[in-house]
């Protein structure tokens, strides 16, 4: 090795030690955080961010950049250190504010909050599934728009906790089945958990497991300090295009501190003495947040290695023969000009299950909303998430837009988050509403991330019938409505379903469509998109001032209409309000909400689920505050009081008090 080469090696080692120093300093300043994993993986981060990843720090959202996901999100200070050093906009002051109110360096990475963070991670295993979604997106866009516009890799750094969580098994199994090349997961095999050694609870053979899933596995062994060996291994994985790759790296958590290989250093164990000793071992000054100019220059330059690739890509995009309106619509998660005209309509009086109406909408939009992609968790036809005529996603049909997720609800939701956050995709995923419990972690992260992910949950009430209470949702709509930033839409009929689809494509962030298994009548007035978009509106009104207001949602809107007819015939003055989306209605101004629900008119709601949350809008609530029963759906509804007779009786009683 020449003197210049030796100096270059020394420079890299010193730069890595600076990253390790920051990984100790920021949690110490916060008196909170995770030091050890970031310290152990500093060499890996260095290799990725200076040698391997294609990106341009001056344009963190460049569409053809490589994607980097830190699934082990507790090690966020590692990512923040690299983003600071490579010039993504984070300052040393931001690192000093690690985990503090209003900072851009929260305890776990949050997409949209910090430039350069691709997905929101923290709950373990989610990032692996997100990576699968991003790899599907890359392959699909490459097949549809050409490799000159889409040609990148997805890298995921994960640990024992990620692989222990069930979602990682679901996602890895599907990734192997789909043959997702260009997906590289680096497994930090450090043998340490919070409770102690991983051997307390884990004896899996991870390489064997991933091989059984169809992954290409490279076991680098004790190479966590060997920069060249890591680069060779990662590049070998990048060369495998017919299946995903797992690169196994045996690291030593907290290296080179005195707490190396302890469960304590998984968290915040290194304080003044430990930090001083570690910095002395590394030959660094005992000074917090010390970044020498030469190290800053090294990483700043690395952050701009991809500038030329980006400008070349921009030139290719400009000269490309693709339909730019389609490309733009895909990356906006929206439709081409006039896309809403493709939505179907239904005649008043027709009887249509909203899940079937939803599928008709989805099918009609595929040619005008180019990002649409997805399917169901072995319930594709049942939930109305069938995509016909556009291919089945897989190695033989990379352009395919139908994804068969199999019985993998949790991974399906997180994979679709990855599809959405990659860009160019508008994912839709379906299962029964009762199984939204299985995917709640991914749903919550979709809301936290602002991922434009369409959750289709059908069989939305005890109207499911004979399958019984295990398959009859009662608490699920209310539970989903408690999640901030998630729009929960339960349309009354087929035309409201079309309106809901329009609001979703026009909107931002995630949305949940709660759809019926059973047929429901198409009602007059539900085809007014401007009304549906407000979340709640007057569907039927008396000639004079209403004495009582009946609010319904989903299949119960027709029940409210029937009850209103009975009450009107008895001389009562009744308004019927359809409220497909509480969140949208709540976002309207006071004047509009008061025009729909005047405070001086008694109000009665009906929904085939728990009454929790309805007291905001109604004086009295009819619902199902118990589990269902196994019987035909109509019988279950009747026995549990979800019918016009019960609503009429409740209205009469309300008016008499």
Q: Are 304 and 296 in contact (CB under 8 A)?
A: no
Distance, CA of 287 to CA of 18 (rounded, Å): 11
Distance, CA of 138 to CA of 153 (rounded, Å): 8
Distance, CA of 652 to CA of 572 (rounded, Å): 9
Cα distance between the two ends of the chain: 93
Q: Are 57 and 304 in contact (CB under 8 A)?
A: yes
Q: Are 58 and 304 in contact (CB under 8 A)?
A: yes
Pairing of strands 537-540, 574-578: antiparallel
Distance, CA of 177 to CA of 107 (rounded, Å): 34
Token match 């030593």: residue?
252
| 475 classed as catalytic | no
Give, to the nearest 10 degrees, the angle between helix 440-449 and helix 126-145. 70
Pairing of strands 603-606, 620-622: parallel
Please, where are the H alpha helices in 185-306? 206-212, 227-238, 272-282, 293-302
Q: Is 101 exposed, middle or buried (0-12, 13-18, 19+ CB in 10 A)?
A: exposed
Show the CA angle centred on residue 438, arms to residues 432 and 439, nearest 5°. Answer: 90
* DSSP-assigned letters across all residues of 70-83: ESSGGGHHHHHHHH
Q: Which of 138, 409, 496, 607 is catalytic?
A: 409
221 Cβ contact partners less than 8 Å away, ≥ 6 residues apart: 248, 250
- 3 state SS of 431: strand
- Cα within 13 Å of Cα(330), Cβ side: 26
Which residues are annotated as catalytic? 409
């Amino acid at each position: 090795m020449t003197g210049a080469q030796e100096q270059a090696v020394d420079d890299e080692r010193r730069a890595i030690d600076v990253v390790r120093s920051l990984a100790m300093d920021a949690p110490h300043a916060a008196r909170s955080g995770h030091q050890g994993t970031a310290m152990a993986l500093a060499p890996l981060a260095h290799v990725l961010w200076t040698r391997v990843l294609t990106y341009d720090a001056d344009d963190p959202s460049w569409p053809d950049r490589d994607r980097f996901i830190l699934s082990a999100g507790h090690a966020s200070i590692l990512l923040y250190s690299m983003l600071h050093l490579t010039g993504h906009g984070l300052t040393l002051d931001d690192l000093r504010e690690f985990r503090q109110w209003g900072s851009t360096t929260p305890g776990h990475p949050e997409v949209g909050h910090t430039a350069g963070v691709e997905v929101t991670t923290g709950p373990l295993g989610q990032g692996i599934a997100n990576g699968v979604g991003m790899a599907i997106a890359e392959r699909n866009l490459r097949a549809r728009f050409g490799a000159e516009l889409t040609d990148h890799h997805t890298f995921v750094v994960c640990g024992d906790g990620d692989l222990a969580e069930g979602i990682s098994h679901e996602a890895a199994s599907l990734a192997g089945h789909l043959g997702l090349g260009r997906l590289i997961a680096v497994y930090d095999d450090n043998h340490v958990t919070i409770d102690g050694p991983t051997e307390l609870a884990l004896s899996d053979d991870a390489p064997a497991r991933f091989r059984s899933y169809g992954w290409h596995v490279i076991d680098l062994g004790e190479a966590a300090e060997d920069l060249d060996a890591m680069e060779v291994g990662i590049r070998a994985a990048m060369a495998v295009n017919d299946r995903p790759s797992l690169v196994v790296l045996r690291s030593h958590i907290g290296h080179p501190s005195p707490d190396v290989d302890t469960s304590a250093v998984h968290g915040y164990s290194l304080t003044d003495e430990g930090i001083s000793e570690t910095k002395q071992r590394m030959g660094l000054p005992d000074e917090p947040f010390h970044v020498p100019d030469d190290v800053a220059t090294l990483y700043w330059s690395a952050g701009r290695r991809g500038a030329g690739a980006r400008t070349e890509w921009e030139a290719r995009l400009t000269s490309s023969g693709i339909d730019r309106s389609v490309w733009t619509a895909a990356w906006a998660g929206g439709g081409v000009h006039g896309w809403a005209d493709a939505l179907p309509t239904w005649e008043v009086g027709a009887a249509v299950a909203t899940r079937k109406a939803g599928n008709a909408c989805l099918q009609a939009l595929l040619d005008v909303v180019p990002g649409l992609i997805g399917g169901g968790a072995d319930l594709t036809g049942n939930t109305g998430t069938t995509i016909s005529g556009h291919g089945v996603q897989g190695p033989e049909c990379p352009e395919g837009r139908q994804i068969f997720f199999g019985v993998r609800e949790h991974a399906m939701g997180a994979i679709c988050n990855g599809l959405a956050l990659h860009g160019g995709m508008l994912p839709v995923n379906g299962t029964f509403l009762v199984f939204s419990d299985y995917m709640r972690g991914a749903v919550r992260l979709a809301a936290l991330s602002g991922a434009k992910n369409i959750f289709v949950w059908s069989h939305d009430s005890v109207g499911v019938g004979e399958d019984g209470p295990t398959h009859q949702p009662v608490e699920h709509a209310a539970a989903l409505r408690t999640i901030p930033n998630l729009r929960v839409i339960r349309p009354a009929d087929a035309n409201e379903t079309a309106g809901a689809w329009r609001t979703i494509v026009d909107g931002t962030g995630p949305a949940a469509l709660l759809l019926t298994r059973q047929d429901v009548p198409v009602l007059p007035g539900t085809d007014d998109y401007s009304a549906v978009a407000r979340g709640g509106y007057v569907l039927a009104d008396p000639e004079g001032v209403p004495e009582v207001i009946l609010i319904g949602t989903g299949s119960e809107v027709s029940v409210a209409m029937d009850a209103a007819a009975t009450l009107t015939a008895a001389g009562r003055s009744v308004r019927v309000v359809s409220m497909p989306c509480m969140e949208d209605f709540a976002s309207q101004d006071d004047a509009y909400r008061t025009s729909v629900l005047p405070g001086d008119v008694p109000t009665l709601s009906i929904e085939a689920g728990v009454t929790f949350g309805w007291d905001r809008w109604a004086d009295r609530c009819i619902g199902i505050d118990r589990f269902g029963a196994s019987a035909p759906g109509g019988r279950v509804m009747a026995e549990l009081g979800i019918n016009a007779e019960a609503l009429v009786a409740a209205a009469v009683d309300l008016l008499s008090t």
